[in-house]
Structure 1
Amino acid sequence: MAQVGYIRVSTIDQNTQRQLEGIVLDKVFTEHKSARDSSNREQLNALLDYVREGDTVHVHSIDRLARNLFDLKEIVYQLKNKGVSIQFHKENLLFSTDNTEAISQLLFNILGSFAEFERGLMLERQREGIALAKQQGKYKGRKKSIDTEAIRLAMKEEGASFRKVAEKLNVSLSTVQRALKHKE
């Protein structure tokens, strides 16, 4: 019966130390990735493969595991089906195969919905901030990863095609097309 930790932060710059601090764990899976897409999280998938019946997965809070209710329920369902318990420390909720308390399920759904709601608000504020910055002329978008002139020169080489140039310069096909379409 292993005690397994799952720690997730959205970016490399964020600190993972405060999550699950002081909890004795046999193995820890740490992820530096957004919770937006649970199928694309290698450490979460590795955890799901690793755990066995009788194990307990420890997570700092519900929003560290998933940011939408559908993914959250799916992950917890997978764990419970394997006979694995899951402990959310911030919310003080434990879900085990024998835990069918209605109040726990209610709290789980409410807190999961709040995590999803919070993510939606954050994205809305981000869009509003970008729109305002664009109006004020402060937002120019992401800096170009490659100079447009370099793409044009590469396209003049013998045998050049959009795809070959994109591969050679390590940019997307649409970047090459956009560079040739617009004169700066």
Structure 2
Amino acid sequence: MAVYGYARVSHASQCLDVQIDALRAAGCSVIRSEKKSATTREGRAELQTLLDFVREGDTIYVTRVDRIARSIGDLQDILRVLKSKGVALKATEQPIDTSTPLGKCMLDLLGIFAELETNLRRERQTEAIRRIKEIDNTKPRQERSYQGRPPTINPDEIRQLRDEGLGATAIAERLGIGRASVYRVLKIIVAQGSLENP
């Protein structure tokens, strides 16, 4: 019977050291770690390796349940795999121990809260973006903090502004697009003109 650890953070800029230290203190002989989102198991190669490798009687430690899953569906999928192999899941910072009925109950509850937290954060982000867009719509495009998708370039508008005597920089500012984009369109316009008037 072996004791393994799994550590995870969502972003490359985050540090795994605190989790790894806690897992070592819990007696983990091998610790798999990765910097990936945990909304699904997809792309989490270290977790998959661990799930494939563990055998009956082994234990996997995490520091908190949200390190292994951020949705109740994903957590239940992982637990089904562990149960079928006779492997227990424990947490160093929470009363999680799937080898006991109370531990299983606590895991289900914490999984629900982890999913709720993820959904609430997503809603807050969506609301923040919506508010920024509302404020930005009152500003000139160049001053907007949320640029969103680049505008569609209309060659006819660029041709018309060029014919009015505007240079590439002035056209770019007027249309809210990059100067390089204006130059590319002007080059095409000039080439088309050469073809039409040999």
Quick check: TM above 0.5? yes
Cα distance between partner residues in 2 of 1:59 and 1:90: 8
Distance 1:26 1:142 in 2: 48
CA contact (8 A) 1:20 1:59 kept: no
Once superposed, which parts of structure 1, at least 4 consecutive aligned residues long, lie more than 4 Å away? none
Aligned-residue offset at 1:142:
7.5
**Is residue 3–residue 56 contact of structure 1 (8 Å, CA) maintained in 2?**
yes
Q: Take 2:53 and 2:117, find their aligned partners in 1: how far apart are those partners?
A: 30
Separation (CA, whole Å) in 1 of partners of 2:69 and 2:38: 5
User: How far is the alpha carbon of 1:85 from its aligned partner?
Assistant: 1.2
SS class of match (1:6): strand
Tell me the CA shift for residue 12 of structure 1: 0.5
Superposition deviation, residue 25 in structure 1: 1.8
Identity of aligned residues (%): 38
In structure 1, the gaps of 5 or more residues are 157-184
Q: Which residue of 1 aligns with 2:72?
A: 69
Matches within 5 A, 1:94-133: 94-96=97-99, 99=100, 101=101, 103-133=102-132
Residue 6 (structure 2) aligns with = 6
Amino acid at match of 1:115: A
CA displacement, residues 39-77 of structure 1 (integer Å, 9 cap, x when unaligned) = 331111111111111211001111111111111011012
Contact 1:68/1:115 (CA < 8 Å) preserved in 2?
yes
Query: What TM-score does the superposition give when structure 2 sets the normalisation length?
Result: 0.66
Higher helix share: 2
CA gap of 1:142–1:28, structure 2 versus 1, over 3 A, is farther
For the 8 Å contact 2:97–2:104, the answer to whether it is kept is no
Query: Structure 1 residue aligned with 2:146, among 115, 139, 142?
Result: 139
CA deviation after TM superposition for structure 1 residue 31, in Å:
1.4
- RMSD over aligned Cα atoms: 2.3
User: Residue type matched to 1:7 in 2?
Assistant: A
2:43 paired residue number: 40
Q: Number of matched residues?
A: 146
The answer to which of 60-69 and 18-27 deviates more is: 18-27
Structure with greater Cα Rg? 2
